[in-house]
Copies of this chain bind each other. A is one copy, B any other.
Amino acid sequence: MQYDFVNELGYLAIATRLKRISEAMVHSGRDMYKSLGMDIEPNWYLIFRLLQKYDQLSVMEMTAKLHFSHPSVISLVNKMEANGYLESAPDKKDSRKRQFRLSEKAHSNIPEFEKVWTAGTIGVEKLFTDNSFLDQLESIEIQLSQSDFKERTLNELSK
């Protein structure tokens, strides 16, 4: 890796670095799916896994589980439905809701996807020497959900 000024900046540049790593991985993932001739996107993984576990969910149920905004979820599921991976039907009891489930195409393709997802998981896992990184990530998430960056900084400022 060539010289990177951002890494000199310590903790205050951490958001920049996290975003760069994330974008590099997503970009590379998109590229990989294309190379493998798979017509799916990196983020669809979240929805596939959700509907494997919960079978049928509405938009708001997905936003609650993923902590995404609802427009983001709508955008994801619309694209997946347009590509034939999801089916939606109005909820029987509440006509405001659309219930989404995996399509037949999804079920028949997922075994192939699983191979790639397993390989991807192993590949990423090898980036870490132990699993303390995931633990630290969770710790950061919890702490920031209790008191965000602004609050923490203003608190330090007032000392």
Contact = CB atoms under 8 A, between A and B. Distances in A.
Nearest to A147: B123
A93 interface: no
Q: In the complex, which range does the number of interface residues on chain A fall in?
A: 35 or more
**How many monomers of this protein are in the complex?**
2
Interface string A7-36: 111111111111111111110110110010
A96 interface: no
Q: Is the interface of A mostly helix, strand, loop or mixed?
A: helix
7 contacts: A3-B64, A10-B134, A28-B148, A32-B150, A120-B152, A123-B152, A127-B152
B21 A25 contact: no
A115 B53 CA distance: 48
A119 interface: yes
